[in-house]
Amino acid sequence: MSTTIANARIPGDRGLLGSIVNIRVDDAGKISDIEFVGSTTAIAIPPSLSDGGGTDTIIDAGGRYVIPGLWDNHTHFTNWALTLTQADVSHIESAADMADFVGRWMRDHDGDLVGRDFRPSQWTVRPHYSILDAVTGDRAVALISADRHSVWLNTAGLKKYGYENHVDGYLVEHDAFRVEIAIHDSNQPDHDGAVLHAAQLAAARGVVGIVDLEFAWTLDSWRRRIAAGNDLLRVDANVYTEDLDRAIEAGLRTGDVIASTQGLLRFGRHKIISDGALGSRTAFCFHAYPGMSGPGAHGILNIAPHELVPLMARTWDAGIELAVHAIGDHANAIVLDSFDTVKARGTIEHAQQLTYDDAVRLARSGIIASMQPEHAMDDRDAAEDLWSGRHDFCFPHRTILDNGGVLAFGSDAPVAPLDPWFAIASAVHRSRDGREPWHPEQRISAQEALDASTRTRVAVGEVADLVLVESDPLDADVDTLRNMKVGATFIAGRPTFDAL
């Protein structure tokens, strides 16, 4: 069935051509024709279209702006879906305040507590199980940090998740990930309803595709979901080292389309976590964190270079690209060295803090900088505190583009909300909540931010993954971008969200 999207407006100044177009989509879901109407305001659907005009479906865009479908290039999707039902503790500013909140929650609710998004980086008292024990009794509490690299458990929680002998109940890196995997088991069919709801919310923000970095083998889960009718998103499903052998034995290579998924599911990359995160003070840095000494003062390196290189080489030799997490400047340097040694392709996930030389090296390496601009707004205060004097090249979007690099934007949901408009606004304006821009020299243009958030173009021959929005994204202030009103979203010309 062919479709025409009529009265759509092209963003930006189109000069004599005008900005209103009729976009025809063929039976294969590709754009077959773009007719420039020439008007600068929406017009009535012409008779050639209103009487059918050789198409089966006509959609009146009503003068809304048409852009390529948006991608979130870094999500933990099941985790994000379940997070929407968990207690929000992001507003808590101290360990004592957390104890007060948990105590109130225990009085008002039954069962165990899972809280999300606490930020302890600037607290004066380190989390400890005894602080929670005083208000919880024998009910388990698991509090997950905003960066997902630490989990705070009470004694009952330590017992529930197999850490009875832990020294203080504040778990970081691998131990934290194990607890989060237990909480957010993405292979449970019981979670599919929450995942469908999250997919609906994503489509309503103009999202046509995600990269899923869930801590599990998710190909079977996504195949099951798509077969059951959750066909709202394209999905690139990555794997972790624990499932690398399984992927290699199955003969999977990056970009392979998985059968029986309507072409929506592809095999992605091999995700390796090289270091920690800023908020948990585990990002691996050249300089020690303020007030810290001894082991861990510079953060945590989760995999040594002599182990990283052969692991990357084995992956690359199997036809699988790499997606390597690196946040601290030292971790980024090590990962860049490793990519150079192996001569592999892929992404550095986050690339949050780099030296200038390494930002340039990343840009010129051909490795994609998979970054989350909203994290710059979340982490700016922590970065100035914990990386004092060394945050000039935090989220160096402008430097990377100016040196020929490629950006791919995402949210890292649930670390930040799954909403590409937040990423676009943060990259363009480097500001939120009325604050002064943070390192405005790293701002990029709206077109560059859209390019980092899309994979197609509005052009003949391109797949018709499209979004209709109310405002011109190339001429929008920060609030308009963050709250962009979406009218409709299409995958290959098929509506996945429709509020027209």
Listed residues 134, 168, 183: the one ending a domain: 183
Higher pLDDT, 337 or 121: 337
Residues 219 and 123 in one domain: no
Domain-terminating residue out of 183, 212, 233: 183
Q: Which domain holds residue 265?
A: 70-77+188-455
Q: Identify which of 436, 343, 451 has the alpha carbon closest to the alpha carbon of residue 397.
A: 451
- Residues 343 and 472 reside in one and the same domain: no
202-239: b (≥16 Cβ within 10 Å) or e = bbbbbbbbbbbbbbbbbbebbbebbeeebbbbbbbbbb
User: Rounded to 5 degrees, what are φ and ψ at 25?
Assistant: -120, 130
Alpha-carbon span 154 to 133, nearest angstrom? 6
CATH code, 48: 2.30.40.10
Identify whether residues 11 and 116 lie together within a single domain.
no
pLDDT at 186 over 70: no
Comparing CA positions, the residue from 210, 229, 208 lying closest to residue 488 is: 208
Task: State the chain's mean pLDDT as an integer.
Answer: 94
Which residue, 159, 183, 207, sits at the end of a domain?
183
Same domain as 448, residue 472: no
What mean pLDDT comes out for the span 434-441?
96
Q: pLDDT at residue 51 above 80? A: no
| Shared domain check, 316 and 414 | yes
pTM of the model: 0.90
Together in a domain, 37 and 132: no
- Residues 138 and 208 grouped into a single domain: no
Is there a single domain that holds both residue 322 and residue 427?
Answer: yes
CATH of the domain at 241: 3.20.20.140
Asked if 312 and 401 sit in the same domain, the reply is: yes
What is the per-residue pLDDT for 122?
83
Q: Indicate the SS3 state at residue 117.
A: strand
Residue 209 sits in the same domain as residue 335: yes
Q: How many C-alpha atoms does 429 have within 13 Å on its Cβ side? A: 24
236 and 164 in a common domain:
no
Residue 67: helix, strand or coil by DSSP?
A: strand
Does residue 173 share a domain with residue 30? no
pLDDT in tens, 244-276: 999 999 999 999 999 999 999 999 999 999 999
pLDDT at position 13 is 67
Mean pLDDT of the 132-161 span: 95
